[in-house]
């Protein structure tokens, strides 16, 4: 990081900052030989070592551990729903405070300041399709701050915009491909219906397709 050389008696020591990352951020405090590093970033945390070489004496070492915490920003809750059969959805919520966040404690609580459900990063909730929602809250804490976020099992399992077709939200990723295929089938079926309708002048029927992933 830096090499400090004592000056002649009465003169200040010389400071040579060897490591580019610390240029302009290092200050030596007069004769006390205290080194100050300013404008810290998380990359500065870790072990620091002082090596003191005195001519004619043994080398002397000191170790310093620098711990840094960053204020938590908004939490992100990742959602992983899996259909478990029998109209039940297993949804795993994972609380994420972003990169650089470490040494966190997590608390998952039920609705309206309810019971503690888990103190792990992830929480598994079983939601029966059509049942009432039971929102959960993740609260993450590090040594300097606290942040929380809410998640809805009902929205995760049934989808916020498609309450009538829960299977769609569950299948959304694979669903696009399936929908493409269904779209082609539908076009074929509609054509067949139109042809049939021309013969019979009967109103067409609406069809719904189960998601097949
Ligand atoms: C520390 O950062 C502030 C704001 O970015 C800047 O104004 C200041 O000059 C910096 N100080 C040092 C010693 O780099
Ligand atoms: C859903 O969760 C229950 C309870 O934890 C578990 O027994 C079951 O195996 C899970 N099913 C799936 C498909 O993940
Ligand atoms: C499905 O849910 C119903 C209603 O809760 C229950 O009676 C039944 O035993 C369940 N079936 C299976 C296979 O879990």
110-125 pLDDT per residue, tens: 987 689 999 999 999 9
Residue 145 has pLDDT above 50, yes or no: yes
pLDDT tier for residue 132 given thresholds of 50, 70 and 90 = very high
Q: Which range among 12-26, 72-86, 199-213 shows the weakest confidence by mean pLDDT?
A: 199-213
Q: What residue ranges of the chain are covered by domains with CATH 2.60.40.10?
A: 2-66, 76-158
As a whole number of angstroms, the distance between CA 153 and CA 117 comes to 14
Residue 211 has pLDDT above 70, yes or no: no
Q: Which CATH number fits domain 2-66: 2.60.40.10, 3.40.50.300, 2.40.160.40, 3.40.50.2000?
A: 2.60.40.10
Q: Which atom, in ligand 1's list, is nearest to the CA of 27?
A: 13
Q: How far is the CA of 108 from the centre of ligand 2 (A)?
A: 19
Instruction: Count CB atoms within 10 A of the CB of residue 74.
Output: 9
Which residue CA neighbors atom 9 of ligand 1 most closely?
39
| Top-tier CATH class for 76-158 | mainly beta
Summarize pLDDT for 175-185 with one digit per residue, the tens: 454 455 455 65
As a whole number of angstroms, the distance between CA 83 and CA 12 comes to 72
Ligand 2 neighbourhood includes 124 CB (under 6 angstroms): yes
pLDDT at 11 (0 to 100): 84
Which residue CA neighbors atom 8 of ligand 2 most closely?
84
């Amino acid at each position: 990081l830096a090499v400090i050389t004592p000056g002649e008696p009465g003169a200040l020591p010389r400071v040579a900052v060897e490591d580019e990352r610390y240029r302009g951020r290092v200050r030596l405090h007069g004769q006390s030989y205290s080194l100050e590093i300013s404008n810290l970033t998380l990359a500065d945390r870790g072990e620091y070592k002082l090596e003191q070489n005195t001519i004619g004496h043994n080398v002397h070492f000191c170790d310093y551990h620098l711990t840094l915490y960053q204020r938590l920003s908004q939490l992100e809750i990742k959602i992983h729903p899996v259909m478990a059969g029998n109209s039940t959805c297993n949804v795993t919520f994972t609380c994420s405070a972003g990169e650089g966040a470490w040494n966190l404690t997590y608390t998952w609580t039920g609705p309206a300041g309810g019971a503690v459900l888990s103190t792990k990063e992830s929480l598994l909730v079983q939601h029966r399709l059509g049942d009432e929602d039971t929102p959960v809250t993740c609260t993450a804490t590090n040594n300097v701050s606290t942040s929380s976020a809410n998640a809805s099992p009902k929205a995760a399992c049934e989808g916020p915009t498609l309450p009538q077709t829960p299977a769609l939200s569950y299948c959304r990723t694979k669903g696009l491909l399936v929908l493409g295929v269904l779209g082609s089938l539908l076009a074929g079926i509609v054509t067949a219906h139109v042809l049939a309708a021309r013969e019979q002048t009967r109103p067409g029927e609406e069809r719904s397709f189960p998601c097949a992933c």
